[in-house]
Structure 1
């Protein structure tokens, strides 16, 4: 037991001790009864109102029959995984079916018979509530219950126990809106109390001592009908800045890169666009050149003047093509995606460093290399914008009136506008992209 020699008076303190005497748990066992029997053992203080019972999830899983025959642990991990967050070799950090971001979906092959694995409890919060109710019925005490499992943490070596289930206990202490002793406002302080309790319990339970349950006393003010559960500790996707591993983030950003044609009027952060441009100029290019230039139209006046010039040039082309005024008006309306965007980028190709060839074939191939490099740069830009949470649409309009665009923007003659990119926040979720069979695009030799 810890807590001896604690400060006297009103100084905050608590005591925590492990419960010896928990037998090997099997499917169908009543965890509450096992805890109650152990807590009543000789030399132990028993359970009292306001105590917190901290239970390793492993014995909960065993009692709930979550032991599986599984010679292939990877297959069991697959079944318990919602999505892969990061992968390195066989190691996987995943989102489990319970919503936790953790290694191997919590599938455990230790301390189980050979050829079996142990899955996490189906609903750890419900498990904690059943243990809490059981202890109330058996001992007449009002306690909090925390069900724990061992997690690693990003950027930190080592593992620690955290709460995956909780009942009858404050799970978080939200201090936002208050002030510190100096009067400074607290804007982001939310303490994960249940995780702190889990860690305190693990100090006396240990990982190999065969002590799966601990009792913590002295924080009765945190125990009661709080309405909070461990699920309250799971950060939702919208607030998760570190949702993916590196390679997964790249694939996700490529997938998220969709053409957006309707934008909100929320302004675009110019710094976010510059970060996307920084990614764009890492694209491959011929002869160690840097053929990309990006004209950023950040003012509404600059955007309107350019788009008016482009529209007039387009209308003139359509009239020369013999299109009717009705047809012209319809086409112009379809092209208004650029006008609706709160930010425009005009990518330009500058073929400095291109080799001069006397014959037309090689000269054309040289030009194509630079155009390909331009496409790679723009793709980098679009993907990086998606990573910033911005929608985009790459429209080819400027390529049909390059001289007019150069004149309006005051660009050198050797800058070739390669379309325009509308940038902004999508007004709605894009429609689901139909699945494409990779083999339809592949030839193997």
Structure 2
């Protein structure tokens, strides 16, 4: 391929756009400044002027309060800097709330619907000039693992935002199995090279990409936002711990999706870092990965439970209802039986001190299980810790062929939650604290 045939494009900033005020029609301002727009051009429009035109300037003597109002969740925090997810699903510093280039005592919020804003500009250019352009609304982002800022797309119309190359091959014939190019972000960055950050040039044009990029029916910038299920880096380090602890819920209904045994083993690795007395390791975790093993245990436990209920004089109807309510373990695709071992414990020959010694080990076992549950939440796995094995320890030891010294401490049902857990009422921390 000769140099004249090589792909190329031309990018330039649009001069002459006046200070934008609420109610201005951006398409008219852009067309007046750049009347020679052509089919296939892509407009890169800084979100700041979109926000101004749409009246997204608000009084906010306290910028932090404005950030709070736009924040869905805090992703990471260091000092006064907050990386948050905002109402648009974008993860960015300060929720996109901007206090620069806006009157004192005010802040600028991002457009409420950047895709709709892009579509309005595109329609306005078509009405004025009779040409089909693509429009990308851009904003400035920092990035994990990379220094410096770059512009990315937060809104788009008439532009292919993602170029999915999966299923094709590279120049050597190797299959492409994971390559999806963020075309709209690349356009945003190209536009920023000519607009600059301090030049007062809020719009750029990219020409030359044409039909390969600009289309009547194209994607939305929301396609660029990775969903929670696929986001491997959803939280900062300390935030991940807090999120896993505060968002952990007891899950009683699971999907049929298989549980990754590696995820459970990683959770066990977290469990065995819990504190324990006398430098002991009082935890053992029995992983019931086969359906047959789970069935044998649960059938034996059910028989023992029914026998206990009959000894208590419960009616057969009452027993049947209780057994049905207890089926959370049977409905889970994976079970774990945490066990307490007293290896390394001290014997004092005094009932009070020996009881306290066992309590220390039981507390350590509970700490290990709590670590386990939190780690499962961090793996996006639901769990339910139920006490049933503690009421028939001999049965459990016999079925699972456990040593006599292993005391089952309940059972943990593990799986993918069938539905989002119900909201838990906020607990007022001060009600759980006494200060002396």
Question: Normalising to structure 2: TM-score of the pair?
Answer: 0.92
Task: For residue 209 of structure 1, report the CA deviation from its aligned partner.
Answer: 1.9
Of the three residues 233, 244, 265, the one matched with 2:235 is: 244
CA contact (8 A) 2:50 2:111 kept: yes
Structure-to-structure mapping, 1:181-200, within 5 angstroms: 181-200=171-190
Q: How many residues align?
A: 434
> Would you say 1:77 and 2:72 are equivalent positions?
no
Structure-to-structure mapping, 1:228-267, within 5 angstroms: 228-267=219-258
Of the three residues 31, 41, 44, the one matched with 1:51 is: 41
Of the three residues 239, 259, 269, the one matched with 1:268 is: 259
> Judging changes above 3 Å, is the alpha-carbon distance between structure 1 residues 164 and 425 closer, same or farther for their aligned structure 2 residues?
closer
> Would you say 1:312 and 2:303 are equivalent positions?
yes
Task: For residue 201 of structure 1, report the CA deviation from its aligned partner.
Answer: 0.7
Q: Structure 1 stretch 150-159 or stretch 320-329: which is displaced more?
A: 320-329
Task: For residue 255 of structure 1, report the CA deviation from its aligned partner.
Answer: 3.7
Question: C-alpha distance in 2, partners of 1:388/1:421?
Answer: 15
1:216 alignment partner in structure 2: 206
Task: For residue 127 of structure 1, report the CA deviation from its aligned partner.
Answer: 2.0
Question: C-alpha distance in 2, partners of 1:331/1:61?
Answer: 58
**What do the CA deviations read for 1:301-351 (whole angstroms, capped 9, x no partner)?**
322332333333334434444445554444444333323333221111112
**What do the CA deviations read for 1:201-231 (whole angstroms, capped 9, x no partner)?**
1111111122222111101111231232222
Question: C-alpha distance in 1, partners of 2:314/2:123?
Answer: 78
Structure-to-structure mapping, 1:202-213, within 5 angstroms: 202-213=192-203
Structure-to-structure mapping, 1:406-425, within 5 angstroms: 406-425=397-416
Question: C-alpha distance in 2, partners of 1:356/1:189?
Answer: 63
**What do the CA deviations read for 1:364-415 (whole angstroms, capped 9, x no partner)?**
1111111011011111112222222322222222222223322332322222
1:67 alignment partner in structure 2: 57
Question: C-alpha distance in 2, partners of 1:427/1:24?
Answer: 52
2:363 alignment partner in structure 1: 372
> Judging changes above 3 Å, is the alpha-carbon distance between structure 1 residues 281 and 123 closer, same or farther for their aligned structure 2 residues?
same
> Judging changes above 3 Å, is the alpha-carbon distance between structure 1 residues 64 and 361 closer, same or farther for their aligned structure 2 residues?
same
**What do the CA deviations read for 1:121-169 (whole angstroms, capped 9, x no partner)?**
2222222222223323333332222111101112211110011122222
1:337 alignment partner in structure 2: 328
2:5 alignment partner in structure 1: 10
> Judging changes above 3 Å, is the alpha-carbon distance between structure 1 residues 323 and 115 closer, same or farther for their aligned structure 2 residues?
closer
2:91 alignment partner in structure 1: 101
> Would you say 1:31 and 2:22 are equivalent positions?
no
Question: C-alpha distance in 2, partners of 1:111/1:220?
Answer: 34
Task: For residue 27 of structure 1, report the CA deviation from its aligned partner.
Answer: 2.7
2:146 alignment partner in structure 1: 156
Structure-to-structure mapping, 1:138-153, within 5 angstroms: 138-153=128-143
**What do the CA deviations read for 1:87-144 (whole angstroms, capped 9, x no partner)?**
2221111222223211111111122233222221222222222222332333333222
2:285 alignment partner in structure 1: 294
Question: C-alpha distance in 2, partners of 1:30/1:143?
Answer: 17
Task: For residue 272 of structure 1, report the CA deviation from its aligned partner.
Answer: 1.6
| Unaligned 5+ runs, structure 1 | 1-6, 41-45
CA contact (8 A) 2:161 2:218 kept: no
> Would you say 1:281 and 2:275 are equivalent positions?
no
Question: C-alpha distance in 2, partners of 1:56/1:32?
Answer: 13
> Judging changes above 3 Å, is the alpha-carbon distance between structure 1 residues 442 and 138 closer, same or farther for their aligned structure 2 residues?
same
Of the three residues 367, 389, 402, the one matched with 2:380 is: 389
> Judging changes above 3 Å, is the alpha-carbon distance between structure 1 residues 387 and 208 closer, same or farther for their aligned structure 2 residues?
same
2:218 alignment partner in structure 1: 227
> Judging changes above 3 Å, is the alpha-carbon distance between structure 1 residues 403 and 99 closer, same or farther for their aligned structure 2 residues?
closer
SS at match of 1:262: coil
Question: C-alpha distance in 1, partners of 2:139/2:99?
Answer: 14
Note the aligned Cα RMSD (angstroms): 2.3
Task: For residue 57 of structure 1, report the CA deviation from its aligned partner.
Answer: 1.4
Question: C-alpha distance in 1, partners of 2:330/2:399?
Answer: 16
Of the three residues 175, 178, 185, the one matched with 2:168 is: 178
> Judging changes above 3 Å, is the alpha-carbon distance between structure 1 residues 29 and 430 closer, same or farther for their aligned structure 2 residues?
closer
1:3 alignment partner in structure 2: none
Question: C-alpha distance in 2, partners of 1:31/1:369?
Answer: 69
> Judging changes above 3 Å, is the alpha-carbon distance between structure 1 residues 296 and 226 closer, same or farther for their aligned structure 2 residues?
same
SS at match of 2:330: helix
